[in-house]
Amino acid sequence: MNQHVSLASENTNQQTSAADTRTRIFAIVGASSGNLVEWFDFYVYSFCSIYFASEFFPKGNPTTQLLNTAGVFAAGFLMRPIGGWFFGRLADKRGRRTAMMISVFMMCGGSLLIACLPPYSAIGVAAPALLLVARLFQGLSVGGEYGTSATYMSEVALKGRRGFFASFQYVTLIGGQLLAVLVLVILQQFLTTEELKAWGWRIPFVLGAAAALVALYLRKSLSETSTAETRGRKESGTLHGLLKHKRAFMTVISFTAGGSLIFYTFTTYMQKYLVNTAGMNAKTASLVMTCALFVYMMMQPLFGALSDRIGRRTSMIWFGALATLCTVPILSALRDVSSPYAAFGLVILALAIVSLYTSISGLIKAEMFPPEIRALGVGLSYALANAIFGGSAEYVALWLKSIGSESIFYWYVTALCAIALIVSYWMPDPSKEGYLVNEP
């Protein structure tokens, strides 16, 4: 009889474990769907700017127009620290699900405004001004999205496989970029360049606004990962509570600076680099980046699983070392590339290196902070470094090109990756000593 009881108990435990696994996977998928829409809406601006730059900034040569649109892109990043603080506080005080729902709703509004915005020829300087307002609105939204979704996904991920499951944050982040460029590639097949410049560029923004409403509905079904006890603590979501973890905060800022800069260099800016520097046809460059982003997206779970085996710190050290050694040679080779196949291979090499960081980007930050200030700690530290270094990547690169010193940008990226290497070497391994280790 005892044997029957034991077997029944074992079967019950297995069923409970399987049910828990399914619940956690569903939560990952639900959070990821909203994350994908958020990043699609945000990045479609960068990929479509080649076509609408002349609509809002009609004067100057192509590089100057791209410089202006890149400036607006960077301005959106300046709202990220505010978004990281506001939504991080909201997530720690009111719950992760609430914060994620509000952020995706705000992104919808920003995309809809851009889709309906009249050109410079119709309303004059109000056109670029309203474009800036829309981007600031989206920047506020996505500034909150990263911290809350990274926190949520790290908390629902299965212990021992957190690197693998949490990597799906960047699967959907990259997926958002991929969908953005894929929509553009499809439009390029059916519309002429003149039609894309006149009105075709608006279509992706309309699609993004509609998809955001679908994501809002999906996020309503997610379960909450924070507890009433942690939300009710006096220091929950406060800067005072965060300042007790200054070392973790500064560590995240230090390695996020290099990680964000190299990520944007080889993703959003790379399409422009291939067109504006390497002289590649715009349609060919879009196709190269579509294929590269798809492979990059598929890399994330592999590198996330690798971090579960070798540790987060080891992954970060390898990222810093390889990025420091390889950035200048890869960008120099891409500058003179003529074959799209060679360009694809070089970009994939770079993105494989970047994957050592991006696959665990959200998780390694979440593992450094306790639950009562986790969303704030992850969101604000990431947003500050991302706004200063990631958001300015295109602008700095284009400005240096405009003054004839483009190669300085290569060394700028290298220097920040070297800093990430140094910081990663001296930090403890969060996967072994972090706050998430003893949580269920």
Residue 272 confidence (pLDDT): 86
Strands (E), 254-355: none
- Average pLDDT for residues 353-374, to the nearest whole number? 92
Q: To the nearest whole number, what is the mean pLDDT of the chain?
A: 84
Q: Indicate the pLDDT class of residue 2, thresholds 50, 70 and 90.
A: very low
Cβ pair 167, 303 in contact under 8 A: yes
Cβ pair 107, 41 in contact under 8 A: yes
Strands (E), 303-356: none
Residue 216 confidence (pLDDT): 82
Residue 92 confidence (pLDDT): 93
Dihedral sign of CA atoms 393, 397, 400, 406 in order: positive
| Contact residues for 95 (Cβ-Cβ < 8 A; gap 6+) | 224, 226, 231
Q: At what angle do helices 80-94 and 62-78 cross, to 10 degrees?
A: 30
Residue 233 confidence (pLDDT): 87
Name the token pair of 186.
Answer: 């499809």
CA 374 to CA 376: how far, in whole Å? 5
Highest mean pLDDT among 186-195, 207-216, 364-373, 414-423: 414-423
Q: Indicate the pLDDT class of residue 288, thresholds 50, 70 and 90.
A: very high
CA 371 to CA 231: how far, in whole Å? 9
Q: Where are the domains of the chain?
A: 28-221+244-433
Lowest model confidence (mean pLDDT) among 220-224, 246-250, 274-278: 220-224
| pTM for the structure as a whole | 0.81
- Average pLDDT for residues 99-105, to the nearest whole number? 88
125 CB neighbour count, 10 Å cutoff = 9
| CATH class label, 28-221+244-433 | mainly alpha
Q: Does 261 score more than 80 pLDDT?
A: yes
CA 334 to CA 270: how far, in whole Å? 9
Query: What would the pLDDT profile of 140-165 be if each residue is shown by its tens digit?
Result: 888 888 888 888 888 887 777 888 98
